[in-house]
């Protein structure tokens, strides 16, 4: 605890202000205290995620079955690879940020600007990747139905055990049901977009196709979902009340609605941090380029935004673990 030792020079007055017992400047210390409070916010979110997950431990979606896309590999089951790539992008942009801070300590203006620029580019690529991840999550891939009790039923091929797209078996039953829009009828009353297929079409198609089974939300304890036999499946399909394609805040084709809610909220909040981080980095980058810190005599501002940027990386490490790995 060396802060209790006096570290002032002879002529400095302890009560006169200006001394730094923790040897950190005001701005840096406040950035750290902000980071501490923000870390508590994120841990609150992740702990709440853990709460919901332990509450529905038997039916929580399996991440490998949800996030299995990779750019340019359509239909290939590639869990983890994409999010691992995103992690590397963020860690790498963290490294360029430390290099910028280090160059700042040596007062090398051009090097600072170059590394800041790389950091900004890294952050932008990460944001784009996250947008793509969200797009896949929201659009979904196979579709499912929801029962009256709120259970999600997915469809699998009896032989291969792989999931089956709704469009590949849905029967065609013509209907004149159309989306209710605000411009027709009572003012300000409307409904969301209708699913591509009706429950009747899915049910008829399912009954006509003997090769289909239903995959329930229940986990078997070995990292797989329980698949019903044909009889159980036929029994279950009669309880379907909604066709679910993709994900929104009310229901999603992956399972528990809370899963999608936490995914949107936590990765969204983290993405918002990345976005503000990129903006702040941009401002500091321009300040570096026009020589503000060269005139000031030190690059501590780069160090402070660096702390924020690393914090964003730090949070991602935890989000990665709790959403994709565990």
- Cβ-based neighbours of 26, under 8 Å, separated by 6 or more: none
Q: Are 257 and 249 in contact (CB under 8 A)?
A: yes
Per DSSP, 194 falls in state P
CA–CA separation, 63 vs 49, rounded Å?
A: 14
- Angle, CA 151 vertex, CA 147 and CA 152 arms, to 5°: 90
C-beta of 164 vs 266, nearer to other proteins:
266
At closest approach, how far in Å is the CB of 146 from other proteins? 13
At closest approach, how far in Å is the CB of 307 from other proteins? 6
C-beta of 182 vs 325, nearer to other proteins:
325
Q: Is the dihedral of CA 213, 224, 66, 268 positive or negative?
A: positive
C-beta of 135 vs 224, nearer to other proteins:
224
Q: Which residues of 252-268 are buried (b: 16+ CB within 10 A; e: fewer)?
A: bbbbbbbbbbbbbebbe
CA–CA separation, 53 vs 224, rounded Å?
A: 16
At closest approach, how far in Å is the CB of 136 from other proteins? 18
Binding site for other proteins (CB under 8 A): 1-4, 21-24, 29, 32-33, 35-36, 39-40, 43-44, 47-48, 50-58, 64, 79-81, 84, 87-88, 91-92, 94-95, 97-99, 101-102, 105, 148-149, 151, 222-223, 298, 300, 306-307, 310-311, 313-314, 317-318, 320-321, 324-326
At closest approach, how far in Å is the CB of 101 from other proteins? 8
- Nearest to residue 274, comparing CAs of 124, 99, 151? 124
Whole-Å CA distances, 242 to 105, 114, 167, 239? 60, 53, 15, 10
At closest approach, how far in Å is the CB of 98 from other proteins? 5
At closest approach, how far in Å is the CB of 269 from other proteins? 17
At closest approach, how far in Å is the CB of 292 from other proteins? 17
C-beta of 139 vs 161, nearer to other proteins:
161
Q: Are 198 and 212 in contact (CB under 8 A)?
A: no
CA–CA separation, 127 vs 65, rounded Å?
A: 23
C-beta of 132 vs 318, nearer to other proteins:
318
- Cβ-based neighbours of 121, under 8 Å, separated by 6 or more: 93
C-beta of 81 vs 134, nearer to other proteins:
81
Strand 225-227 relative to strand 144-147, pairing: unpaired
At closest approach, how far in Å is the CB of 2 from other proteins? 6
- Nearest to residue 313, comparing CAs of 277, 265, 266? 277
Beta-bridge mates of residue 145: 153, 243
C-beta of 77 vs 210, nearer to other proteins:
77
C-beta of 76 vs 189, nearer to other proteins:
76
């Amino acid at each position: 605890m060396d802060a209790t030792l006096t570290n002032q020079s002879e002529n400095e007055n302890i009560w006169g202000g200006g001394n730094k017992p923790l040897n950190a400047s005001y701005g840096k210390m406040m950035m750290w205290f902000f980071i501490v409070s923000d870390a508590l916010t994120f841990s609150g979110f992740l702990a709440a995620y853990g709460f919901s997950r332990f509450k529905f431990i038997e039916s929580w979606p399996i991440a490998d079955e949800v996030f299995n896309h990779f750019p340019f590999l359509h239909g290939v089951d590639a869990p983890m690879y994409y999010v691992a790539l995103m992690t590397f992008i963020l860690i790498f942009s963290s490294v360029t940020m430390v290099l910028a801070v280090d160059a700042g300590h040596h007062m090398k203006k051009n090097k600072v600007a170059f590394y800041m620029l790389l950091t900004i580019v890294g952050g932008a690529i990460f944001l784009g990747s996250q947008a793509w991840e969200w797009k896949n999550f929201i659009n979904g891939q196979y579709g499912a139905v929801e029962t009256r009790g709120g259970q999600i039923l997915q469809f699998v091929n009896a032989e291969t055990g792989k999931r089956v797209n709704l469009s590949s078996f849905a029967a065609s039953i013509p209907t004149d049901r159309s989306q209710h829009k605000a411009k027709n009828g009572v003012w300000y009353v409307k409904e969301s977009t209708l699913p591509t297929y009706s429950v009747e079409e899915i049910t008829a198609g399912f009954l006509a196709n003997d090769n289909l089974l239903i995959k329930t939300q229940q986990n078997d304890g070995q990292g797989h979902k329980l698949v019903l036999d044909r009889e159980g499946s036929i029994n279950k399909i009669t309880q379907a009340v909604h066709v679910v394609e993709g994900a929104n805040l009310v229901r999603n084709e992956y399972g528990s609605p809370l899963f999608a809610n936490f995914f949107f909220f936590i990765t969204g909040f983290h993405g918002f941090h990345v976005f503000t981080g990129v903006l702040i980095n941009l401002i500091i980058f321009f300040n570096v380029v026009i020589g503000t810190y060269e005139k000031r005599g030190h690059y501590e501002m780069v160090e402070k935004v660096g702390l924020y940027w690393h914090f964003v990386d730090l949070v991602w490490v935890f989000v990665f673990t709790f959403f994709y790995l565990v």
